[in-house]
Amino acid sequence: MKRIISISLSFIVVILGIFILITKNFSLTPICLLFVSLLLFDSGVNLLIKKRRAMAYTYFLIAGFNIVVSFNILFT
């Protein structure tokens, strides 16, 4: 189940990134950033399960910062 979530989030990020670059529609960038932060959060959970706590906490911190930035861009 964890692997399916990681692969699907990666696929969404790549497709959104390609779509943003081809159409030059940069209004979708915060949504792509939100999916990147969800992917980082998922990677942090996987690292926490593997007992790599320092890297997991770093991923959680970066994911939280990205979520705050993406919501700030979306709602301003």
Q: What is the pLDDT of residue 65?
A: 96
Q: How confident is the model at residue 3 (pLDDT cuts 50, 70, 90)?
A: confident
Going by C-beta distance under 8 Å and a sequence separation of 6 or more, which residues neighbour residue 28? 16, 19, 20
Domain ranges of the chain: 2-15+28-74
CA distance 65 to 1: 26
The predicted-structure confidence for 5-58, as pLDDT tens digits, reads as follows 999 999 999 999 999 999 998 999 999 999 999 999 999 999 999 999 999 999
User: Does residue 70 surpass a pLDDT of 90?
Assistant: yes
CA distance 38 to 15: 15
Q: What is the pLDDT of residue 52?
A: 92
In the structure encoding, which two tokens stand for residue 71, read together? 């919501």
User: Does residue 1 surpass a pLDDT of 80?
Assistant: no
Residues of 36-47 as b/e, b for ≥16 C-beta within 10 angstroms? bbbbbbbbbbbb
